[in-house]
Structures are given as C-alpha cells and as structure tokens.
Structure 1
Amino acid sequence: AQQSEAIESMTRLLNALLDISRLESGAIQPVAAHVPLHEVFAKLRSEFESVARTRDIDLQVEDSPVVISTDPTLFHQLLQNLLGNALKYTDRGTVRMRCDTDDEGATVIIEDTGIGIPEDKLERIFDEYYQVDTHGTKRMGVGLGLAIVKEVANLLDLQVRITSKVGEGTQACVSIPARFLVAAPRAAAEDPAMQNDEEERSRPRLFLVEDNDSVRLATELFLKLEGHETVSATSVPEAQTLFDGFRRGDVVIADYHLDGKHTGLDMLLGLRERLGYEVPGIVLSGDLPTVLRSLKTPVAKCRFLSKPVDTEALLEAIAELSAA
C-alpha cells in the first residue's frame, strides 16, 4: 500500500508539476544560449563527486573547450540524468564523462563499469516506467529518467545512443550536430548569459532532499526551468555532504518523511544548529494536517506545503523565504 501511494503521489506530482507530456507536446520551448561544456562539466562534477566518493566510485570528468548553442537548463538536465544513471548502476570501478569532436560535430560520452544492460533490453530502456532487472539489487526510482532524456534530446535536436555489455558496463553517447558548435566563445560583454551572472549569483540556491527518485527528478527539473540553481539528495547522509557547500541565503526544500529515523524537519533543525542561524526551509508532506498537529511550537522561517506540490505555492514560498 505504501509503495502504491508513493507511485500515485509521484504520478500526481508529475501531472501537476512537470508531466512528460509537456515535453512531448511542446509546452516547454528551449531557449538557446552559448553553453561552454567546461562549465556544464564542472557543475556536474561538483554535484556528483560526493555521491561517487561515498560509494567509492572513481568519477572522472574531463575538461572540454567545446562551446555549443543550446538550452543550458535542458542540456544540463539531460547530462545530469545520464551521469546519475551511470552512478546508480555502478557498484564499483569508474564513471567517466568526456567530449570528443570530429567533422560531424561533438559527442559527449558517459561510460561506466557498472552492471550493464542485456542486449534484448536495450530497445526498451527509454520507455516510461521501464527499469532493467538489477538481479535483486535495490535501485531507487520508477524508470522515468531515461524517458525524460529521450524527450529532452528530441526537443534539443540531439541524438542519444546507448550501448552496453552485461558485467562490463554501459556507454551513453550524446551526439551534437556541427551546426550547434560555436566557433569561439563570445566576449563576456557580448554574451547575455554572462551579463546575467551577477543576477544569478544573487538568487538563492535550492537544496532539495527527496527520497523518491521520480518526485525528486520532476521537482528539480521544474525548479531549474524556473531559473533556480538546484542541487538534490536522496537521503539525509547525502544531504549532509551537500550542505558542506551551503551558504547564507540558500533554501532547503525537504520531504517530511525521509526514512524511518529522520524527518525533513529534523534535518532542517540540525542544519540550523550546525550553521548557527535560522536556515530558511520548506517542508513537504502528503499528510500535512498530521504534521502540523505534531508541532509543539511554531518553526520560524519555515513553510509547510502539501504534496502533491502546488507549483505556485512552492514558488511563492521560495520567494518569501529568500526575501526574509
């Protein structure tokens, strides 16, 4: 019953918040900008290095001088899903990301030494809700990551090809046509994206903690499409590592029921004790009345919202806490 409720909640959230049909129908329109791959790679390395370190996986991200014209948020999300998948299905060894170029364009390659995918399953991996059998090993999620990769790639007019051998690993290749390659980066004064750097730095970063992979994925993508720099974690220990980079003005968004030992509110209060000030936070719950009744005292600079999330209420809470 609990699993059924989690999937139902995730489905409602996707319908209200993201819904893959928005990608399929063209409701999300890419906005092209000059995107230096070394910046995208650096952000992904920073985002995933703590996860890799915790799991004793050698994460190798090679620098690249390539600059492309594409939607930066959607392109980042595409690579984020592929890199996250590689780490999720690798128990030991290496995950490597690099970019190769030739006359036809550029190819971002993400390869791992993970469990691999059977040949007869490869054609189904982009289907919604499909997950490869992991031989009894528990993997979080319900199989939406690669379905979103497919839709985002279609939207950006990119090609994604995956090859794999069971027991040896998997390679994901994102082909970028030559027409999207920028010959040379424009000067900072000529690049609108560079002109907006100061404004973007002044916006709060969002630290999302959600143990349901699909809900986390949908929420994170929504927040990024709204222009918020967002990082996420699936557990309290993983979040504690992310919090090493927490700075004043950042906002925590956490599910209330994280695991049997911790709640999102406990985690937020612990972070406040650790940093010595009232860190702004948003706590989400599918049983909000019960959560509110359990509070003995009001929690300052904290907003409690129901799940599935009302997107307008979430954005209003972020704006309110950021201005406080």
Structure 2
Amino acid sequence: MTASLINPNDTPERQIEKLTKINAALMRRVEQAVDASGAAYAQFERAALLEEEVRNRTRDLERALDLLNDSNARLAEANRATEEARSNLANAIETVQEGFALFDPDERLVMCNSRFGLHMPDIRDGFRPGISFRQYVDLVSGSRYLSLPENMTSTQWAEGRMRRHQDDHVIFNVRIVGSRWVQVSEHRTPDGGTVILQTDISDIMRLERLERERMLDDQARLIRATLEHLDQGVCIFNNQARLAGWNQRVGEMLSIPVRKFSMGMGFFSLFEGFAQVSSYSSGITQEDIRAWVTSTETRPAISFEIWQGQNKTLSVHAQEMPDKGFVISFSDVSAERAAVRAIQQANEMLEARVAERTLELADALSEAERANASKSRFVAAASHDLLQPLSAAKLYIASIEPGQNPDQTHVIAEKARRSLDSVETILEALLDISTLDSGKAEVHRAPVSLGHILAQLAEELGPTARAKGLDLRVVPTDAVVLSDYTYLRRIAQNLIGNAIRYTSRGKILVGVRHRAHSVRLEIWDTGPGIAPEQRDIIFREFQRLESAASAAEGMGLGLAIVERACALLGHPLDLVSTVDRGSGFLVELAISHAPDFSGLVSNRNSSRNETGLGGLIVLLIENDRDLRNAMTVAMEAWDVCVLPVASGDEAMDLIGTEGILPDAIIADWQLDSGALGTDVLARIETQIGAVPSCVITASRTPTIIETCARQGWQLFHKPVAAEALRSFLSSVSQSIRQPLP
C-alpha cells in the first residue's frame, strides 16, 4: 500500500490545491529530464496516469465538497435553531423573578440571569460562564455585602457552604447587609448538574420578624406575669451575665432597691452589696460563684444556701440555659430551716434529758443502794441511841424510893429528865431525817430575817457555850434572805450547836458575809478540825468523830439534817477546816428584797426571864387527855391558873357563860372531829378581842406557818419543850405587868 500524498481529513479545497501543485511539479520534471534509455516516455506515461487520477480525485473532492456544503447548511440551520433556543431560554430565565444559575456536571457555570447575585454588586462581574462552583462560593464568602453570623469568618462560612453543597437538596437563608435576606436553594439536574435559585425574602422575613416580635412580646408579658406570680425570686441573665429579666419578689427577698434592677445590669454589680451582708452554706464561696458565672464551658446546675442575719435563710439555685445564659432563683426557706433547727434542738434536748435522766436514775439507784445498805445500820443505831437514854431514864426513876432524901430525889429526877430530853431530841431529828429523805418535805420559801434567827439562837445556846467556857459571838445583821424559816433555823441551830459540842476551848464566831447577789452565813470554831478523809463521813447519820461521846452530847444527826435541808432549799454548803485549828461551815443564801414576817412565826425562848407567873390565867385547848393533863400539871407547878378544855365549843362556853377572860391561850391545831385550833382562836378573838396565843402542832406544813405568821400567834412544834412554853408565858406576864404609858 502506497502512502497517499493527500490527507483525507483536509478540506476539498485544500486537497485540490495540493493536487494542482503536484501536477505542475511533475510536468516540469518531465520536460526538464534527459533520459538516454527512454525514461522520458515512461515519465510521460506516468504523468498521464497521474493526471487521470487527479481528475478522478477532483471529481471525488467535488462530490465531497457538495456533501460538506450541504452539511454546513444543515449545521448552520441547527446552529440557528440552537441560538434561537438559547436566546429563548435566556429570555425565559431573565423573566424569572429569582436569581438563576446553572452548573454542569463538572461543576462549571453554564449560565446565569441578571438577577443572580443582584444583592452583591461587588462580585456580580465574577459570575462568568466557566467558573467552578468553588470559585462561586469563594466570591460570595468574600463579598462585603454578606452579613456573616457572629463569631464566624468568611473562610468558615465558605467551608460550611461547600459541606451543604454535598446534599441532594439544599435550602437556607443568607443575611445581606441592610436588613435584607436571600433564600438560596439548590436542585440537582438529571445529568448531575446543579441549579441554584436565589429568592429575595426580605419582606417575608420582615413580616416574620414582626410576628415573632409580637409573639415574643406576648410571650414576654406571659413570662413576666408568670414570674410575678411566683413565690420565688427569679433573675434571668444573658450569655454576657447581664440582667435580661426579673420579678419584684427577688428585690424584696434580697433587700435590693428597685432602682438597681435595669436591663443589662451586670451580675456582680447587682449583687455586690448583697454578697457583703450574706454568708454562704458550707463548701461555697464567692470565688466559686464568680467562677461559675464567668465560665465559658458547659456549667452544671448549682444549689446552695445563704444566710442574712440570725433568722433569714435563702435557698439559691442556678441553671444554665441553651444560649449560655442562666437563670438564678431564690426561695425563702427560713421557716423550714427554723423548724429543722428546732427539731435538732429538741432532739439534742431530748438526748440531754435522756442522758440527764439516765444519770439521775443511776444516782437514784446508787442512792437507793446506799440507803438500802445503810438501812440496817441506821435502824440499829437509832434503836441503840433511843433505847440507851430511855433505859437510863427508867433506871433513874426506879431508883427513887419513898422517904428518900429530897435533894437526892431531885438529882435523880433531873438526870431522868435529861435522858428523856435526849430521847425527844433524837425523835425530832429522826422525824426531820425521815421527812427529808422521803422527798415529801414541804418548803415554804419566804423573806426571812437572818438577824432575828441568829439573835434567838444566841440567847438559846449562849448559856450552853458559857457553861463550857466558850466565847460565842454572834455578829448582828439586818440581812433578809429567801428561805424556809423553819428549816433555815434548824440549819443554823445544828451548825452552832455542833460547833459548841465539839469545841473544848476558844471561841465560836457566827456572822454574815455580804456578796454580789447573796449573803453567806459563816460559823467558825476553834475546835479540833476535820481531816480531809473524814469530811464526807461527818454528814452521815449517827457519825461522830468522838466515838466516846454520850447521847446527851449528840446522836450524830445534826450535820446529816443540815446537808439534806441545804440540798432541799438550794443553799450551797461548804466546809473549810484545818486540823487542830478549827472549822468553818459556810451556807450561801439568796438575798430577798421583800418585807420580812419571820419574827412573827416562832419566838420560842425569846425571853428566858424567870419572872413569876403567879396569877396568870391560861386557857388550854387540847383534845388529848394525857397531854392536856401533863401540860396542866406543868403549868400549875409554875403557879399558873389553867382552864383546860377538850374542844372549841367548851372554850366558847367557858368564855361566854362564865365570863372568864384568859391572859393567854394555848391551842392544839388538830382537834377532834376535824376542828382546827386556829379556827377556835379566830372565833375567840372575834368575841373578846386579841389575846396572846400560841398553837401547838406536829405538822410542819407551810399553811400553818403562814396562818400563825399572819395572825401573830406563836407556833410550837411537838414535842413541846417546857422551857419554850414557860418562856412564852413569861413574855405574856411581862407584857401584862408593864405600866401603861
């Protein structure tokens, strides 16, 4: 196969032009060539053949040219139709009210209308056919008319736009400067191209914004109304920690002025003054709250409590919102916390009371065990100390014989009397001990003149002290204390008597030392003193440091009575002692500022004047026959005229019928048939006027004491001492014999 000198792809005109040039070249070559061997003819023949071939090719070229011209005509017609269709499409696209752009499957811009990119005049010239989709996005992201979202750069926006382009169907809104909005939508064509439509939705967005604002206003009013109806105080802060909403309750609860609440107020500026007057619950500080408010990370809800003053407690709860703002609420939980504190205090009090009761029960059990353990000893000692003087008295009386020397009989009778006095003293002490230990002792606290009691005791116990050669000094005092007269007198009497009993030489000093809100009764002696290991023993029953002492010198009950009486009255008792130098008993007494009536209660032994009682008429009202006879015999021995009766009616008959007016009256408190001697005395005084009177009773109740004090009657407790009864009659006799002024 020979190579062709003509390129079939050339146009017919080009092929003809080439063949013509080839023919001319061959002709020149034939004419000029000289071939001695007949080559010229061969060349001629070849040229002839070549010419024929040229003519054939020319005819082929002409036919091809005709076909080409026909094709060109049809192509021109097609191009015209295409241009017409393109023109119609462009015109149609231009009539669209939206921006339109078409990208081919290779992401190249094919065409767009004049409205495409209308809102971004700075980049419209860049929208030329052939640019890639990425170039289009970069142009849009770099436009100065694009309003980028807050905290977003143009690069970030472009990357996000390209990610959305991967979806089959895309629609989103783009904000343009000047409060305009464009909605962008993408659609895929069947061949994989992309159609972009840009729609101006500014009016729609404006209306939507107005509607949204209206709805927000309605919602805000609803929220405001809701907030105002809440019992909690609520504050709403935006993501810049600035005030965006609140209710009036929060200002009332936090005591913050209303003028401080304003939109945009900073959190720390609003609560600055409040934080300075509040304290936080355990584990929370102001730094913790500041860190939570200023944190840029996701914040978990926090709850804590704050206190204002002593009684106000607020519960605080802070919660983050989706936009990084937060809501903080305040609830007044003062009542709940006060109730909790009250319950805790009640629990603590109950626990303390249980512990106290447990200790009391333990003490009571120990006391009961101690009492039970000493019961036999106490009874044995009491029996021994009672039987000993009784036995002595019986022996003394049995030794009296008829016709015996009167002086010797008097001596024996006096010894028997002293033995019986010891029995009386022991019985009275045992009665006091029994009453105090039983817990049924009745106490009548009232203003008591301490100086009056001490003066009486000085007169009563002075002769005993002088008989032992002791100097008993009682310092006068005008102190009035709050105590029970009977028990206070018993305390002082036992302490002074105990000092006289155990002091062999020297002196005894009794006085009152004034303190801030009390006085202290002090009894000091120069006796043998008490060793430290014996100071608890001396307050036990029947305990005497001198074991050889006789019953007449004490049964060892005085200090036991003192300790129990002081405990009952709440008078602190103290002991100060030095061996071989002496002891001091100190009793703390509360001062009373009320008037004192104690001097009217009992004036037993107030006067030991031995003035004769001859001619004194005494009315004795006693229902017990033996006691009535004994008292009658005793008073008649003192040369007293006694009118003994057994009841109040007999006494009234004697006074009314016989017309006898007694100089003094002695009445038992409890008479037969439930009658009271105090009622009889009141009836007598109503009929004949006031008469010096005394009441005899075994009762120590406050009622009888108050009655006698109010009426001015003397009060003697059974058994009645003969000296006390004679002292009362002597005072009556003295008052009768005093000349009238």
Deviations 1:213-232 (A, max 9, x none): xxxxxxxxxxxxxx665459
1:211 matched to which residue of 2? none
Mapped pair 1:123 → 2:536 = yes
Q: Structure 2 counterpart of 1:144, which letter?
A: L
Q: What is the CA–CA distance in structure 2 between the aligned matches of 1:57 and 1:105, rounded to whole Å? A: 30
The answer to whether the 8 A contact 1:271-1:279 is kept is no
Alpha-carbon contact 1:14-1:20 (below 8 Å) kept: no
Q: 1:51 to 1:245 in 2, by over 3 A?
A: farther
Q: Specify which of 492, 504, 515 is matched with residue 91 of structure 1.
A: 504
Deviation at 1:115, TM superposition (A): 2.0
- For 2:719 and 2:390, how far apart are their aligned partners in 1? 23
Deviations 1:44-101 (A, max 9, x none): 1111111122222111100112111111111011000000000111111100101111
The alpha-carbon deviation at position 311 of structure 1 amounts to 5.3
Q: CA deviation at 1:20?
A: 1.5
Q: Say which of 545, 554, 558 aligns to 1:141.
A: 554
Match of 2:570 among 157, 178, 183: 157
CA shift in 2, pair 1:86/1:271, >3 Å = farther
Change (3 A) 1:250 1:16: farther
1:6 aligns with 2:388: yes
Matches of 1:70 and 1:106, distance apart in 2: 12
Structure 1 equivalent of residue 452 of structure 2:
39
How far apart, in 2, do the equivalents of 1:113 and 1:16 lie?
26
Counterpart AA for 1:244: E
Query: In 1, Cα distance between the equivalents of 2:469 and 2:457?
Result: 17
* Pairing 1:1-324 to 2, within 5 Å after superposition: 5-6=387-388, 14=427, 18=431, 20-133=433-546, 138=550, 140-176=553-589, 180-183=590-593, 186=595, 193=597, 229-231=603-605, 244=610, 272=638, 276-277=639-640
Q: Relative contact order (C-alpha < 8 Å, sep 6+): which is higher? A: 1
> Where in structure 2 are there 5+ consecutive unaligned residues?
1-382, 392-422, 621-629, 644-696, 700-717, 729-741
The 3-state SS of whatever aligns with 1:49 is helix
Q: 1:61 to 1:5 in 2, by over 3 A?
A: same
Q: Which runs of 4+ in 1 moved over 2 A?
A: 1-4, 6-11, 13-17, 136-139, 227-232, 241-251, 267-272, 276-280
Q: For residues 515 and 609 of structure 2, what CA distance do their matches in structure 1 show?
A: 40
- Measured after TM superposition, the shift of residue 151 of structure 1 is 0.8
Structure 1 position 119, deviation (Å): 2.3
Amino acid at match of 1:145: G
Following the alignment from structure 2 to structure 1, what is the Cα–Cα distance between the partners of residues 430 and 611?
Answer: 28
Task: After TM superposition, give the deviation of residue 150 of structure 1 in Å.
Answer: 0.7
Q: TM-score of the superposition, structure 2-length normalised?
A: 0.27
Greater per-residue helix proportion: 2
Amino acid at match of 1:181: I
8 Å contact from structure 1 (residues 82, 110) kept in 2: yes
Q: What's the secondary structure of 1:40's corresponding residue?
A: helix
Aligned to 1:304: none
Percent of aligned positions with the same letter in both sequences? 27
Cα distance change on mapping 1:245 and 1:152 into 2, 3 Å: farther
Q: C-alpha separation between the residues in 2 aligned to 1:277 and 1:72?
A: 31
Q: How far apart are the structure 1 equivalents of 2:565 and 2:636? A: 37
SS of 1:244 mapped into structure 2: coil
Instruction: Report the RMSD for the aligned CA atoms in angstroms.
Output: 4.5
What is the aligned length? 228
Amino acid at match of 1:80: Q
Report if the CA contact (8 A) 1:268-1:279 is conserved.
Answer: no
Change (3 A) 1:133 1:122: same
* Largest Rg, 1 or 2: 2
